[in-house]
Amino acid sequence: MPLKKLNKFRYTLRDTMAFRLTLWSAGIFTVSALGIFFILYFITTSILSKHQDQALFNEISEYSSFLSLKGLETLGTALTLEAESEGVGKCFFRIISLQGEVIFSSNMSAWDNMGISDNTLEKLQNGADYLFETKINAASGHKVRVLYGIIGSDKVLQIGESLEDYELFIALFRNIFFILMPVMIILAALAGWFMAKRAMHGVLEVTRTAVKISKGAFEQRVYAKTKGYEIEQLVMAFNAMLDYIDKLVSGMKDVTDNIAHDLRTPLTRMRGNAEMILSDGGHSPESENIAGNTIEECDRLLEMINTILDISEAETGIMKLNKDSVDISSLIYKVVDIYKYVAEEKKIIFHINVPDRLYVYADSIRISQALANLLDNALKYSFKEKDVYFNAFQKDNQICISIKDSGPGIPEKELSRIWDRLYRGDQSRSQKGLGLGLSLVKAIVKAHNGRVFVLSTEGKGSEFTICLPLDKRDKKTAS
CB atoms within 10 A of CB 372: 17
Please indicate, yes or no, whether residues 330 and 294 belong to a single structural domain of this protein. no
> What is the b/e burial string over 9-29, where b = at least 16 CB atoms within 10 angstroms of the residue's CB?
eeeeeeeeebbebbeebbeeb
Least confident of 37-51, 184-198, 277-291, 355-369: 277-291
Q: What is the arithmetic mean of pLDDT over 175-193?
A: 84
Count of structural domains within the chain:
3
Rounded distance between C-alpha atoms, residue 147 and residue 72, angstroms = 19
Q: CATH number, domain at 448?
A: 3.30.565.10
Please indicate, yes or no, whether residues 55 and 114 belong to a single structural domain of this protein. yes
Q: What is the pLDDT of residue 98?
A: 87
Q: Is 30 exposed, middle or buried (0-12, 13-18, 19+ CB in 10 A)?
A: middle
| Residue predicted with more confidence, 193 or 402 | 402
| Residue predicted with more confidence, 311 or 402 | 402
* pLDDT above 50: residue 478: no
pLDDT tens-digit map of 59-104: 988 988 888 888 888 988 999 898 888 888 889 999 998 888 889 9
Rounded distance between C-alpha atoms, residue 256 and residue 387, angstroms = 40
* pLDDT above 50: residue 239: yes
Please indicate, yes or no, whether residues 442 and 409 belong to a single structural domain of this protein. yes
Is residue 199, in this structure, part of any structural domain at all? no
Q: What is the pLDDT of residue 93?
A: 93
| Residue predicted with more confidence, 53 or 302 | 53
Q: What is the pLDDT of residue 12?
A: 59
Residues with Cβ within 8 Å of residue 200, at least 6 apart in sequence: 17, 18, 21
Q: What is the pLDDT of residue 402?
A: 92
**Integer-rounded Cα radius of gyration of the chain:** 47
Rounded distance between C-alpha atoms, residue 224 and residue 335, angstroms = 48
Least confident of 73-87, 122-136, 151-165, 244-258: 244-258
Please indicate, yes or no, whether residues 255 and 376 belong to a single structural domain of this protein. no
CA nearest neighbour of 335 among 366, 380, 375, 303: 375
Q: CATH number, domain at 272?
A: 1.10.287.130
Please indicate, yes or no, whether residues 397 and 283 belong to a single structural domain of this protein. no
What are the Cα distances from residue 465, in Å, to 53, 325, 393?
Answer: 86, 20, 11
Assess contact for 112 and 100: CB atoms under 8 A.
no
| Residue predicted with more confidence, 448 or 320 | 448
Q: 253, 281, 316 — which closes off a domain? A: 316
Phi, psi for 40 (deg, rounded to 5): -65, -40
Residues with Cβ within 8 Å of residue 257, at least 6 apart in sequence: none
Q: What is the pLDDT of residue 147?
A: 92
* pLDDT above 70: residue 260: no
* pLDDT above 90: residue 5: no
Please indicate, yes or no, whether residues 312 and 329 belong to a single structural domain of this protein. no
Is residue 30, in this structure, part of any structural domain at all? no
Q: What is the arithmetic mean of pLDDT over 361-371?
A: 89
CA nearest neighbour of 140 among 111, 179, 183, 103: 111
| CA 253-254-258 angle, 5° bins | 115
Q: What is the pLDDT of residue 9?
A: 44
Candidate ranges 205-214, 217-226, 248-257, 354-363; pick with highest mean pLDDT: 354-363
pLDDT tens-digit map of 279-323: 776 667 777 788 788 877 777 777 777 777 777 777 766 678 888
Phi, psi for 370 (deg, rounded to 5): -65, -45
Q: What is the pLDDT of residue 6?
A: 42
Q: What is the arithmetic mean of pLDDT over 227-250?
A: 78
Is residue 24, in this structure, part of any structural domain at all? no
> What is the b/e burial string over 187-216, where b = at least 16 CB atoms within 10 angstroms of the residue's CB?
ebbeebbeebeebbbbbebbeebeeebeee
Q: What is the pLDDT of residue 303?
A: 73
Rounded distance between C-alpha atoms, residue 215 and residue 226, angstroms = 26
Supply the pTM of this predicted model: 0.45
Share the mean pLDDT of the chain. Answer: 81
Q: CATH number, domain at 102?
A: 3.30.450.20
* pLDDT above 70: residue 234: yes
Please indicate, yes or no, whether residues 76 and 162 belong to a single structural domain of this protein. yes
pLDDT tens-digit map of 146-155: 999 998 888 8
Percent of the chain clearing pLDDT 70 (strictly above): 86
Q: Strands 359-362, 398-404: parallel, antiparallel or unpaired by DSSP?
A: unpaired
Q: What is the pLDDT of residue 92?
A: 92
Please indicate, yes or no, whether residues 425 and 353 belong to a single structural domain of this protein. yes
Q: 99, 133, 168 — which closes off a domain? A: 168
| Residue predicted with more confidence, 257 or 479 | 257
Assess contact for 157 and 83: CB atoms under 8 A.
no
Q: 134, 168, 202 — which closes off a domain? A: 168
Is residue 176, in this structure, part of any structural domain at all? no
Q: What is the pLDDT of residue 467?
A: 92
Please indicate, yes or no, whether residues 349 and 289 belong to a single structural domain of this protein. no
Strand, helix or coil for residue 360: strand
Q: What is the pLDDT of residue 13?
A: 59
Q: What is the arithmetic mean of pLDDT over 154-176?
A: 89
Is residue 174, in this structure, part of any structural domain at all? no
Please, which pLDDT band fits residue 250 given cuts at 50, 70 and 90?
confident
Least confident of 89-103, 186-200, 245-259, 335-349: 245-259
| Residue predicted with more confidence, 217 or 350 | 350
Is residue 212, in this structure, part of any structural domain at all? no
Please indicate, yes or no, whether residues 340 and 460 belong to a single structural domain of this protein. yes
Please, which pLDDT band fits residue 464 given cuts at 50, 70 and 90?
very high
Please indicate, yes or no, whether residues 355 and 390 belong to a single structural domain of this protein. yes
Structural domain for 151, as ranges: 43-168
Is residue 431, in this structure, part of any structural domain at all? yes
Is residue 260, in this structure, part of any structural domain at all? yes
Please indicate, yes or no, whether residues 330 and 458 belong to a single structural domain of this protein. yes
**HEC sequence for 334-352:** HHHHHCHHHHHHCCCEEEE
